[in-house]
A and B are shown apart, each in its own frame.
Chain A
Amino acid sequence: MLKITNLHATAGTKEILKGITLTINAGEVHAIMGPNGSGKSTLAQVIAGHPGYEVTKGSIEYQGKDLLDMEAEERAQAGVFLAFQYPVEIPGVTNAYFLRAAYNELRKARDEDEVDPIEFLDIMEEKLALVEMDATMMQRSVNAGFSGGEKKRNEILQMAVLEPTLAVLDETDSGLDIDALRIVAEGVNKLRSPERSTLVVTHYQRLLNYIVPDHVHVLAGGRIVRSGGKELAHELEEKGYDWLLEPVPA
């Protein structure tokens, strides 16, 4: 379903991804782990189409389409969703307005009719329950003045509404207390389905106790240095990352 082949990417003059190859099939949950600076978040952002990175080599194919040839919004319309590590604030634009605009863009891309604000309220009600959010959240400006936990829950809410076929969660666990972590993880688990692929990027194994992955990959120095099953995450928790790191050429 998602097929990444020999992916190289740079930020400015610095090469960050140095040949990533990874395939995620429909219904699978993959976790990308690794030390700080290994390129985890870069990989997530390159998949979503962040303009700050340049892909110098390799390919990303998604449902037979060349993702690298598509604008970020076209990727979203094709079913790709990135839950941000640092969700962005948009003052003055309500969560309800923003989400409906996004929802309707995706519908338009599928040649479906747009929904009006009243219809959208019904859709929201069910989704809000999923992340234990209050309806008043919908009238607040997008992420403005939200606590760290609220921002992350808002990301999962958006994911629940937009129903992507490929969800990429970029350090969704960072900055969350244990209750918020549980809510976020339960939200993600409820959205698991045979059609949906998920890529969980995380520094800690903690999140993977809640969202149990089918495959775990360790990223270091811009390359996948080890892949395994969910037990690999536990091994990393015990031993740290050092034993996997190759000496970096000067």
Chain B
Amino acid sequence: MSSSIETLVNKEYAYGFVTDIESDTIPRGLTEETIRAISAKKDEPEWLLDWRLKAFRRWLTMTEPHWPNVTYAPIDYQAQTYYSAPKSVKPLQSLDEVDPELLRTYEKLGISLTEQKRLSGVAVDAIFDSVSVGTTMKKELSAVGVVFCSFGEAVHSHPELVKKYLGSVVPYSDNFFAALNSAVFSDGSFVYVPKGVKCPLELSTYFRINAADTGQFERTLIVAEEGASVSYLEGCTAPKRATNQLHAAVVEIVALDDSSVKYSTVQNWYAGDENGVGGIYNFVTKRGKAFTNAKISWTQVETGSAITWKYPSVILQGDNSVGEFYSVAVVNNHQQADTGTKMIHIGKNTKSTIISKGISAGKGQNSYRGQVKVLPKAENARNYTQCDSMLIGNACGAHTFPYIEVANPTATLEHEASTSKIGEDQIFYCKSRGLNAEHAISLIVAGFCKEVFKELPMEFALEAQQLLGISLEGSVG
């Protein structure tokens, strides 16, 4: 690999700063007491504590999965801290009451929570370590009946909805990390869009891990009633720390008849340094259930984390339901990603699309793992899968693990895959036309990822391109 590419793909992580703020942290370790303490801090009802404890007991019987194509030292779950919150956070009447230090943190990250400067057309919920520090645009949303608040708040304001849907798509027994999350989750976002309502704003949650050795276990629940539609985006960053931090989130989407949910992720957790020291372990379970004529679309741009283990999936429960997965995953230095999707076709005439773009640089290892399953009653199910890998340099790797299970002969499945390499020739070609190498790489990568970027909400497409530029260096002009 030429020195020009090498220097360009190794740019410093810009979000690695630490906010100096007093935290309320519970002691390290994980026992039933830890869970009771978390539940008590959040003043939760009995049923939720019971649910957490059931999840914890189940978790104790489970073993960490080692089938992903990633390697890392054993995680000591007793050495982690499971709850940390900025001390100043109390129930807030308005964003004016948010600790200025926190507001400055989000300003630095390019997320403005202050009323005057906020991005028009976007409502933001900001999660700092374990708790939500503020949600913007609440008034505008409540006018049409949309609920957008922190999970903790929803437990108190809409207990019947939370009780009805929590665990309905990802049961606490689903997998090791989902069980852990169900036991210790601290906060997250809650979205409810009533029948027939088209949510007038983009909803966005911004996750920030600050405290050291603290896991972030957020839980997000999105419910779209019949005929409703909503577009939701999450962004993530963390400080640079020499130890690995655990992030095990669960996202559940319920898309009732004729509804549509679009969920976009721009994930830029700290990835560790160039020697692979530090970084976030991102073990996430994301799944949606689409009922009759409903549509769930996942779009993700994953550039951060030391290790990523993530398969946003759709259960195509109802007839004519649609599932989509658009993904860009970038690994550089020693990053490892094992990511993809599951599309489970249950209803008739269900349709799924998978577009996956993996970019590997440095010593990064990128695996696509995808499952398409067509059950016996899924007449005329259709799937299209396209899986492309791009290699930058000679020390990285790209792997593809497609699993296809078809139990109905009327199904139509297509799978396409390609692997390409950014060459010195492509870069020289661009340079000979007056573009510098940085510009050239981001142009080539943006071209490669185009089919995914066009699925992002407009406001964020540029941000994602820029993020990709930072990860691999270069900004897209």
A residues touching B (Cβ–Cβ < 8 Å)?
Answer: 48-52, 71-73, 75-77, 81-82, 84, 87-93, 98, 101-102, 104-106, 109, 141, 158, 162
Contact = CB atoms under 8 A, between A and B. Distances in A.
Interface in B440-456: 443-444, 446-451
Interface residues of B, number: 27
Contacts of A105: 433-435, 439
**Listed residue (A72, A93, A109) with the most chain B CB atoms within 10 angstroms of its CB:** A72
Contacts of B426: 88-90
B425 A88 contact: yes
A21 B426 CA distance: 30
A104 B431 CA distance: 13
Interface of B: 2, 4, 420, 423-426, 428-437, 439, 443-444, 446-451, 477
Contact of B432 (A52, A82, A91, A109): A82
Contact of B434 (A73, A90, A93): A73
A101 B443 contact: yes
A92 B450 contact: yes
Given A72-B431, A76-B431, A92-B447, 12 more contacts: A49-B431, A51-B424, A73-B430, A73-B436, A73-B437, A75-B432, A76-B433, A89-B426, A92-B449, A93-B447, A101-B443, A102-B435
A79 to B, nearest CB: 10
Contacts of A72: 428, 431-432
Contact of A90 (B424, B429, B449): B429
22 contacts: A49-B431, A49-B432, A50-B428, A51-B2, A71-B436, A73-B432, A73-B434, A75-B432, A76-B434, A81-B432, A87-B429, A88-B425, A90-B444, A91-B447, A92-B446, A98-B430, A101-B439, A101-B443, A105-B434, A105-B435, A109-B434, A158-B433
A201 to B, nearest CB: 15
Contacts of B434: 73, 76-77, 102, 105-106, 109, 162
B431 A98 contact: no
B387 to A, nearest CB: 15
B443 to A, nearest CB: 6
B283 to A, nearest CB: 31
A90 B430 CA distance: 9
B429 A93 contact: no
A71 B383 CA distance: 47
A51 B443 contact: no
A104 B430 CA distance: 13
A230 B372 CA distance: 66
Given A88-B425, A88-B426, A93 B443 contact: yes
Contacts of B439: 101, 105
Nearest to A100: B477
Nearest to B476: A101
A120 to B, nearest CB: 14
B19 to A, nearest CB: 37
A48 B439 CA distance: 18
Contact of A101 (B420, B424, B425, B477): B477
Given A51-B2, A51-B4, A93-B446, A84 B435 contact: no
**Listed residue (B428, B433, B443, B450) with the most chain A CB atoms within 10 angstroms of its CB:** B433
A90 B429 CA distance: 10
A87 B425 CA distance: 9
A77 B439 CA distance: 14
A60 to B, nearest CB: 15
A162 B434 CA distance: 10
